[in-house]
Structures are given as C-alpha cells and as structure tokens.
C-alpha cells in the first residue's frame, strides 16, 4: 500500500541536492539551444520530487546535467549542482557536481554510487548481450569493496528486493527474455545496488501498462521507505505526480515555471501554465470538454521574448509579459512561481509603473 506522505511534512527534511541557476546549452549548427536556462530547485533526503512539463521543456536535460551526462554538443555553461554527501569519509562535504569533470574520478565515484539513474526504455539502458546478473554485479563491483562471492549474493538480494520471482535463476537470464515491467525491475536493481542517496528516474513507467505501472510505482514507494532514498521523478503524467510526489517542479522551455508541494499543485496552482496543464487532462467520469493549451511548445530556436509562456497564456498582459522575463519569486510556504501575476521582482523601470499593485 502507498504510505501517505503528504501529512508527514512537519519535521524539516535534510537537504540533499541544491540546483542553483543551472544552465545547459547545446551548441548546434543552427544556433544555441538553451535546453536548461536557469533552473533552481532543491531535493531533500528521503523525499520525492516530480519534474513535469511537456516534451522539449528541459526535464531530461536537467537530469542529465546533474549527473554530468550531457551529450555533445551540449555543455553546462553556468550554475551549481550542490550535493550534500553522506557516505564514507566524504560525509558532510558539499560538492558542486557542475564543476566536476564529466569523466573525472570524483564524478565516477558519485555517479552510480550516490546518485543513480533509471531510464524510460530499459532496453536502451540494459545490454542485450550480458546476463541480468552480470549487469547488476557490474554496478556493485565498481563501487563496493566486496569479494566476488559477496557481489554475487548482493546481486541476488537486489533482484529479490525489486520483487523479481526466483532471483537466483534470473541471474543468468538475458534482458530480451523479460517483459517490459521485469526489465524495469532489473534496471532498478542495478541502480539501487549501491543504495544511492538519490535516484533519478526519467519517465520510468511511461512505456509500461497501467497495471505494471502501478506495481512499479508501489515498488518505488516501498524501496524509498526501506533505503531512505530521495527520488527525482521525471514524468508528464499528472496522475503519477498525484500518486507519488512530495514536491513538484513544473518546467517550461528550460525554466522552472512553478515549484510547489504536491497538494497545492493540484488544488491551489498559481502559474497559468500549471493551471492549463491540469485543465487538459480528462477527469475521471467527467464529460466536460477538455481545454487544451493553445499551440505547441515553441521551437528552441524561436524562444519568445519576455515570459516564455506568453504566446500560449490565458492571462497574457500585452506590453508586459512579452517584454519582461519574470524571475522565480517566493510567494508563500516555500512555493515559488515565475510569473508577472505574482510578486514584484521585476526590472527597475517596470517597478515604478507597478508600484500601486501589490503581490497577490
């Protein structure tokens, strides 16, 4: 059963990862694609952060930047990714992952050990020519000082933990012999084998059936409880967000549109983009006509001036939204929103004309 985690927010959770003004740009022939363009958020130990938004809004690029997995011609060009470490001698140390070399020793130690990742299509991240056991063992061997026998035992234990039936027999299976749900369990077993403090999951259930998705989401919740692990869960399915998130970051065109706790997202959302997303999903049993967001996500080369969402926004204020690029402002209870409807932190000349109107 799913633990109800919305109520247990009284104690202040320990900080694990701070992303500050992260910028990842891709330098391609036609120009610069600002896939991540100034993203801020924090992840706390043992909690689940969901990152939502349409395709092409920079969700995956943000995740890849955290792990220094950005492919050429992309590059992190600014900002910090501060990891508050917890293992071994490094306990208490704060490292800026964005400043580390992608293939350097430190990054290799962190990647897979302290921060692990699972992907949408497990077949692309798992090898078809190695057995399940080999792939889980590889991750363990790389990071933990264990004997070969211990590694083998731990791999079986991990397969058992992700509820793969008959784990010792499946050690010698190949991934193509398994179903989609089972493959995702295998990649989860490999990712969790070193008990990472943070698991980044990039649309891990999108390719699965609803019933399998429900099983995998349950498994995430159980393993999170067991390992006190933080999860950064990338999805575009708001139903999944409602089921698992503690906090939510809504992204649009490489920026954070809104950052909030999950209850407020669904019941008191602030940003027009968040509201529009919620209006575009079918309600159970409801025959009310859907209200899709106008148009589509603009091409990365034609980024609108001012607020990136203004051409599709219902609350568009001419002369303001298409001129002023809003910043992320704290509205209340740790909720942030990047919209001119809220907050006053706008450019100096704007501030004068807006003097009378307060923050709502």
Residue ranges binding other proteins (CB under 8 A): 1-4, 6, 54-55, 165, 179-182, 209-215, 217-218, 236-243, 245, 262-263, 265-267, 276-278, 280-287, 289-293, 296-297
Residue (241 or 256) nearer to other proteins, CB: 241
Residue (29 or 91) nearer to other proteins, CB: 29
- Spatial distance between the Cα atoms of 339 and 317, rounded to a whole number of angstroms: 11
CB of 120 to other proteins, least distance (A): 12
Residue (296 or 334) nearer to other proteins, CB: 296
Residue (44 or 143) nearer to other proteins, CB: 44
Residue-wise over 224-257: b if at least 16 C-beta within 10 A, else e?
beeeebbbbbbbbebebbebbbbbbbbbbbbbbb
CA distances from 51 to 203, 221, 260, 274 (A): 10, 17, 11, 12
Residue-wise over 284-321: b if at least 16 C-beta within 10 A, else e?
eeeeeeeeebeeebeebeeeeebbbbbebbeebeeebb
Q: Which residues contact 175 (CB under 8 A, 6 or more apart)?
A: 122, 123, 126, 127, 128, 132, 135, 183, 186
Residue (80 or 212) nearer to other proteins, CB: 212
Q: Which residue shows structure tokens 């010698």?
A: 172
Q: Which residues contact 2 (CB under 8 A, 6 or more apart)?
A: 217, 218, 221, 243, 244
CB of 220 to other proteins, least distance (A): 12
Residue (4 or 352) nearer to other proteins, CB: 4
CB of 123 to other proteins, least distance (A): 14
CB of 20 to other proteins, least distance (A): 27
Residue (266 or 316) nearer to other proteins, CB: 266
Structure tokens at 220: 């995430």
Structure tokens at 50: 């969901």
CB of 283 to other proteins, least distance (A): 7
CB of 166 to other proteins, least distance (A): 12
CB of 281 to other proteins, least distance (A): 6
């Amino acid at each position: 059963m799913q633990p109800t985690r919305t109520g247990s927010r009284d104690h202040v959770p320990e900080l694990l990862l701070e992303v500050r003004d992260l910028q990842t740009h891709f330098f391609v022939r036609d120009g610069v694609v600002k896939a991540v363009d100034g993203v801020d958020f924090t992840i706390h130990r043992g909690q689940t952060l969901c990152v939502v938004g349409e395709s092409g809004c920079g969700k995956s690029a943000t995740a890849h930047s955290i792990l220094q997995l950005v492919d050429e011609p992309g590059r992190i060009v600014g900002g910090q990714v501060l990891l508050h470490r917890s293992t071994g001698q490094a306990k208490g140390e704060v490292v800026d992952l964005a400043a580390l070399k992608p293939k350097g020793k430190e990054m290799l130690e962190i990647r897979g050990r302290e921060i692990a990742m699972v992907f949408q299509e497990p077949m692309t991240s798992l090898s078809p020519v190695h057995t399940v056991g080999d792939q889980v063992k590889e991750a363990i061997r790389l990071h933990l000082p264990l004997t070969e026998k211990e590694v083998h035992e731990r791999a079986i234990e991990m397969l058992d933990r992700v509820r793969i039936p008959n784990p010792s027999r499946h050690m010698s299976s190949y991934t193509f012999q398994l179903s989609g749900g089972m493959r995702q369990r295998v990649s989860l077993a490999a990712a969790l084998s070193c008990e990472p403090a943070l698991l980044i999951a990039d649309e891990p259930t999108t390719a699965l059936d609803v019933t399998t998705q429900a099983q995998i989401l349950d498994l995430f919740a159980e393993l999170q409880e067991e390992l006190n692990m933080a999860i950064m869960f990338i999805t575009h399915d708001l139903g999944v967000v409602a089921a698992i998130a503690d906090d939510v970051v809504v992204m649009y065109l490489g920026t954070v549109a809104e950052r909030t706790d999950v209850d407020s997202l669904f019941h008191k959302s602030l940003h027009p983009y968040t509201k529009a997303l919620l209006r575009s999903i079918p309600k159970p049993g409801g025959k009310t006509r859907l209200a899709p967001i106008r148009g589509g996500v603009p091409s990365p080369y034609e980024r609108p001036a001012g607020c990136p969402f203004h051409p599709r926004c219902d609350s568009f204020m001419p002369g303001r939204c298409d001129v002023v690029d809003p910043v992320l402002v704290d509205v209340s209870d740790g909720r942030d929103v990047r919209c001119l409807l809220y907050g006053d932190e706008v450019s100096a000349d704007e501030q004068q004309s807006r003097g009378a109107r307060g923050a709502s």
